Chains A and B, each alone.
Chain A
Amino acid sequence: MSSREKILASVKAHKPALIDLPVIPAFEGDGSIEKFKTVLTGIGGHAIEVSSKTECQQVIDTHYSDLKNLASTLVKATVEIDTSTSKDILEQVDLAVVEGVVGVAENGAIWVPEANMINRALPFITQHLVLVLDKTNIVANMHEAYKKLDTIGNYGAFIAGPSKTADIEQSLVIGAHGARSMMVILY
């Protein structure tokens, strides 16, 4: 008998009688832009509101003029990235600007599906990250967020603020392995 069969048989023999699956009630909460921005700031991120998506370019020009290698399909890119880009090039990216699809006010997280990442490694290997989000896509909590996503797709991540660690004496350090800073442009 293979381990698979052995394990499944053992689980069957050892599991208790079936226990009902609960229904998750609809939890409401504050889904305001203000709440989202406050929480995001609390986790080391930063949000800027603009009146239309076209203003993104201006925001990037203003805030990131010092960065050289910029990857994006939303604003003017200086380095071209696709799914087959080599690690050496990915490693050189200073700034990635990509679009998120749902923002969560209770925790400042933004869902970024694979399709928006350009390359799966990009949002993580870039030195700095900007996520662009339609502010009408901010929901109160994780229950609403998953409801709003049709599918979790092949790969996707909730990203909440910049990369961080507190592994040395619980001192918070921003910029562990991933992005050193994270800005959200709400349009």
Chain B
Amino acid sequence: MNHPALAEKFAKDFNRTTWHDETLWFVRQKRDRAIYPIPEFQELRTLASQIKDHTLSNLDNYLLQFEENARKNGVKVHWAADGEEHNRIVLDIIRNAPHIKGRTGPIKMVKSKSMLTEECHLNPFLQKNGVEVVDTDLGERIVQFRNEPPSHIVMPAIHLKKEDVGETFHEHLGTPKGEKDPQALTEAARQHLRQKFVEADIALTGVNFAVAETGSFVVCTNEGNADLGVNLANVHIACMGMEKLIPKVEHLSVFIRLLARSATGQPVTTYTSHFTKPAEGKEMHIVIVDNGRTQQLGRSDFRNSLKCIRCGACMNTCPVYRRSGGHSYDFTVPGPIGAILSPNIDLHKYSTLPFASTLCGSCSDVCPVKIDIHVQLYKWRQVVSKENELPAVKKWGMKGLAKMLAMPKVYNLGGKVARSALRILPHGMTHAKGMNPWAKARELPDAPKQSFKEWYSQNKKP
């Protein structure tokens, strides 16, 4: 995987890149309008950051407290060390559900948005094992039809135009050819998915926040798909990364105030649902997943990436994400936050992601839980280099450059030679696109005869 190559491919379509950039910038502006009028917004960010810092520093005890309370509530708690175990647990729960066990015929599951299950590649696993999985979030259903991964964690189909969705729905839902009106397409999805909700045996959701003191968890949606699924099916499986915990109900207020405003600029999501006990005669399961999180907890430079509440604001604000698209990251969580989470999972595979940034710092300033994302990007770059994952040209080039810059005379001479070359060589050679990436879209600066230092020595030396 190589971010620059995928990004270049994306950016080749100039108008579509413009559209993608402007669509996400529109969301960023909605977010601005939602947060500027709140005088305590910056204070809320600080509180959220501190609450998460505290929770992470006492995470084992909070996990135990959460487990104990959830069990008292009649919820079954499962623990998964990695994605594979998570998937196996989910399949076991499904197969052992009283209304399914021993039954033949298809098993149907509806799923509301869970980036964790994307991370664990749950869908293909369940489908291989005879479970029909239907993603019910509209954006997720669209990309599921198209057999694509989500390109954004909050707006999974943000890379698609309504014409694309129209074609997909024409193929899968039989909407009229050429139908591209979002209202009509959404209505078609509503009809299609209502059927799925009613038929489902199992409902799976993610978790936005889990509360240790009550053993409850909170799921936020705008569409209502989580509640519809859960309340119609006999079994509810909630999958959560272990970092979703917060200590008390009162802390929810801070996070609920931050989440939707940061994500989409709404004051709150339409549905903020609090699950504590299963309905009578029904089952509720929680799967707590590690999958590399404890390892990240142990990396002091990177641990606070675990504070992330998955609002996606860093994607919307990132000038690189907006012009390269979510798929260019080739990781479950794209954008700046993905670029600091992914190297923890596979440094080699994701070695270009920490470099997919200008380190402009907008991500850190927009983050509702104050993750110092751009600082971590810089630090991951050092790790990539240390672990020998830099391209050889860069590695040895930088070593040479450092040597030169530590020796003033070599630097002075090197500069002089380079400038002369730029002046003497023909424009076609200095700006050859194959040789000099700078020159593909930009002119080089004029090379002056004298450097400042040369000027100074001539004019100013006492």
Alpha-carbon distance A14/B299, docked complex (angstroms) = 8
Cβ-defined contact, A43 with B277, below 8 A: no
> Does B320 lie at the interface of the complex (its beta carbon under 8 Å from any beta carbon of A)?
no
In the complex, which residues 99-127 of chain A have their Cβ closer than 8 Å to any Cβ of chain B? 104, 106-109, 119-121, 123-125
Determine which of A13, A19, A146 lies in contact with B250 in the assembled complex, contact meaning CB atoms within 8 Å.
Answer: A146
With known contacts A7-B79, A177-B197, A142–B58 Cβ distance under 8 A: no
Determine which of B51, B56, B162, B274 lies in contact with A157 in the assembled complex, contact meaning CB atoms within 8 Å.
Answer: B274
Residues of A within 8 A of B198 (CB): 87-88, 91
With known contacts A7-B290, A16-B303, A159-B271, A24–B136 Cβ distance under 8 A: no
Cβ-defined contact, A157 with B273, below 8 A: yes
A-B contact number at CB 8 A: 246
Per-residue contact bits, chain A 148-167, to B (CB 8 Å; 1 contact, 0 not): 00001111111111111111
> Does A179 lie at the interface of the complex (its beta carbon under 8 Å from any beta carbon of B)?
yes
> Does A143 lie at the interface of the complex (its beta carbon under 8 Å from any beta carbon of B)?
yes
Of A124, A158, A162, most buried by chain B (CB within 10 Å of CB) is A124
> Does B269 lie at the interface of the complex (its beta carbon under 8 Å from any beta carbon of A)?
yes
> Does B104 lie at the interface of the complex (its beta carbon under 8 Å from any beta carbon of A)?
no
**Distance in Å: Cβ of A111 to nearest Cβ of chain B:** 9
* Stretch with Cβ within 8 A of A (4 or more), from B150-158, B348-356, B378-386: B150-158
Cβ-defined contact, B251 with A161, below 8 A: no
Alpha-carbon distance A14/B58, docked complex (angstroms) = 10
In the complex, which residues 265-296 of chain B have their Cβ closer than 8 Å to any Cβ of chain A? 266-277, 279-280, 288, 290, 294-295
Alpha-carbon distance A107/B261, docked complex (angstroms) = 10
Cβ-defined contact, B51 with A158, below 8 A: no
Cβ-defined contact, B272 with A158, below 8 A: yes
With known contacts A6-B81, A145-B253, A170-B155, A178–B228 Cβ distance under 8 A: yes
Cβ-defined contact, B58 with A158, below 8 A: no
Q: Which of chain A's residues has its CB closest to B166's CB?
A: A168
Q: Which of chain B's residues has its CB closest to A16's CB?
A: B57
Per-residue contact bits, chain B 286-323, to A (CB 8 Å; 1 contact, 0 not): 00101000110110100100000000000000000000
Residues of B within 8 A of A11 (CB): 59-60, 63, 242, 294, 297
Number of interface residues of B (CB under 8 A): 92
> Does B27 lie at the interface of the complex (its beta carbon under 8 Å from any beta carbon of A)?
yes
Cβ-defined contact, A21 with B51, below 8 A: yes
Residues of A within 8 A of B436 (CB): none
> Does A4 lie at the interface of the complex (its beta carbon under 8 Å from any beta carbon of B)?
yes
**Distance in Å: Cβ of A30 to nearest Cβ of chain B:** 10
Alpha-carbon distance A83/B79, docked complex (angstroms) = 31
Cβ-defined contact, A121 with B228, below 8 A: yes
Q: Which of chain A's residues has its CB closest to B296's CB?
A: A14
Residues of A within 8 A of B247 (CB): 21
Alpha-carbon distance A171/B302, docked complex (angstroms) = 36
> Does A141 lie at the interface of the complex (its beta carbon under 8 Å from any beta carbon of B)?
yes
**Distance in Å: Cβ of A28 to nearest Cβ of chain B:** 9
Residues of A within 8 A of B137 (CB): 167
> Does B337 lie at the interface of the complex (its beta carbon under 8 Å from any beta carbon of A)?
no
**Distance in Å: Cβ of A91 to nearest Cβ of chain B:** 6
Residues of A within 8 A of B227 (CB): 120-121, 123-124, 157, 178
Number of interface residues of A (CB under 8 A): 73
Residues of B within 8 A of A87 (CB): 198, 232
Alpha-carbon distance A8/B443, docked complex (angstroms) = 57
Residues of A within 8 A of B297 (CB): 11, 14-15
Cβ-defined contact, A22 with B186, below 8 A: no
Cβ-defined contact, B47 with A22, below 8 A: yes
Determine which of B60, B224, B267 lies in contact with A178 in the assembled complex, contact meaning CB atoms within 8 Å.
Answer: B224
With known contacts A3-B79, A14-B295, A164-B270, A176–B56 Cβ distance under 8 A: no
Cβ-defined contact, B253 with A167, below 8 A: no
> Does B9 lie at the interface of the complex (its beta carbon under 8 Å from any beta carbon of A)?
no
Per-residue contact bits, chain A 28-66, to B (CB 8 Å; 1 contact, 0 not): 000000000001001100000000000000000000000
> Does B26 lie at the interface of the complex (its beta carbon under 8 Å from any beta carbon of A)?
yes
Cβ-defined contact, A161 with B270, below 8 A: yes
Cβ-defined contact, A152 with B276, below 8 A: yes
Per-residue contact bits, chain B 358-370, to A (CB 8 Å; 1 contact, 0 not): 0000000000000
Cβ-defined contact, A12 with B60, below 8 A: yes
With known contacts A7-B242, A15-B56, A141-B257, A163–B194 Cβ distance under 8 A: no
Cβ-defined contact, B51 with A22, below 8 A: yes
> Does B454 lie at the interface of the complex (its beta carbon under 8 Å from any beta carbon of A)?
no
Residues of B within 8 A of A171 (CB): 162, 182-183
Show 15 residue pairs from A and B whose CB-CB distance is below 8 angstroms, ordered by the A residue. Answer: A4-B79, A8-B60, A10-B290, A17-B57, A22-B50, A22-B54, A43-B267, A90-B232, A104-B268, A120-B227, A124-B224, A124-B227, A153-B274, A160-B267, A163-B224
Q: Identify the 5 closest CB pairs spanning chains A and B, nearest first.
A: A178-B224, A14-B298, A107-B267, A167-B139, A176-B223
Contacts from A to B (Cβ < 8 Å): 2-4, 6-8, 10-22, 24-25, 27, 39, 42-43, 83, 87-88, 90-91, 104, 106-109, 119-121, 123-125, 141-143, 145-147, 152-171, 173, 175-179
A15-B56, A159-B271, A176-B223 known; 11 other A-B pairs, CB under 8 Å? Answer: A16-B57, A24-B47, A43-B267, A88-B198, A124-B224, A124-B231, A125-B232, A160-B269, A166-B222, A175-B186, A176-B189
